[in-house]
Amino acid sequence: MKNVAIIQAGLGSTRLPAKILRDVQGYTVLQRVVRRIRRCKYVDQVVVTTSDLPVDQPLIKYCQDEGYEVYTGSHPNVLGRCTETAIALRADRVICINANCPLIDPGVVDQVIIKLMGDPFLDYTCNFFPYRRYPQGLEAEAFTLKTLLLADKMAIDPPERKHVALQICRNPSLYKIGSVQPREDYSALRWTVDTMDDLRLVNRIYRHFGSRRFRWRNIVDVLGENPHWLTINPNTTQKRVA
């Protein structure tokens, strides 16, 4: 059984253009994501998907130069793009990750995958639905290929094409959904990169750890010791699903 991690990427951000190619202590945001996902024990292959728009052509070249597998598809049809990529790579399970999450935790991603692998009746697992307790920026979701194909067939509403699992989350009666959550609520913490302030916080965290590997709970501990870091990006809000 083959587990393929698909990193959804693009350069068209309005709040922070080309954010995934911004520097985080010597590596781009995208490089940080790829490096951390490659540390997952239950991921067999890592690929990047992006759109076929002109704005994303530099990203395609960047991925090719870095030696990353990259697949392109329709800009508004992210679900279709991920489905086509999964079929092309003959994936049995698909793990979707956003490219603007340079603090994504390999262990958390593995927990989401293990949850799906451990129950033959589950169709989809994630760590942010039906509620979120992890910090923003640690989002991970895993699908069986059968589930992804069904969602691709059923999704008609444009937002359901734009967001890979939206059709599933809107129709929980059609799918068996599993959730992975920590005991405590850390959802107020924001570790994703959408603005320059977000990028400053991520750089501060990576600068603190240097070359050492760290997990998400290590970050929580460091923020507890340095609460003033939380004032770096207090006004950034997550965009709502259209």
Q: What percent of the chain has pLDDT over 70?
A: 97
What is the DSSP pairing of strand 27-28 with strand 23-24? antiparallel
- Nearest-CA neighbor of 36 among 185, 216, 162? 216
Query: Residue 60 is which amino acid?
Result: I
pLDDT for 166-192, tens place per residue?
999 999 999 999 999 999 999 999 999
Gap between the Cα atoms of 43 and 57, Å rounded: 27
- Position 61: which residue type? K
Local confidence band at 234 (pLDDT 50, 70, 90 cut-offs): confident
pTM exceeding 0.85: yes
**Tokens at residue 231, please?**
């004032």
Residue-wise pLDDT tens digits, 47-79 = 999 999 999 999 999 999 999 999 999 999 999
- Give, in degrees to the nearest 5, the angle at Cα 219 between 93 and 109: 5
Higher-confidence position of 129 and 242: 129
Residue 239's pLDDT is what?
57
238 pLDDT higher than 60 = no
How many CA atoms are closer than 13 Å to the CA of 1, on its beta-carbon side? 13
- Residue 159 contacts residue 166 (beta carbons within 8 Å): yes
pLDDT, tens digit, 9 for 90 and up, residues 102-159 = 999 999 999 999 999 999 999 999 999 999 999 999 999 999 999 999 999 999 999 9
Radius of gyration, alpha carbons of the chain:
17
What's the mean pLDDT when you consider all of the chain?
96
CB of 48 closer than 8 Å to CB of 9: yes
Segment 92-106 mean pLDDT: 98
Is 3.90.550.10 the CATH number for 3-231? yes
- H-state helical runs in the chain: 29-37, 57-66, 78-88, 106-117, 145-154, 158-162, 166-170, 196-209, 216-225
Q: What is the pLDDT of residue 101?
A: 98
CB 208 within 8 A of CB 103: no
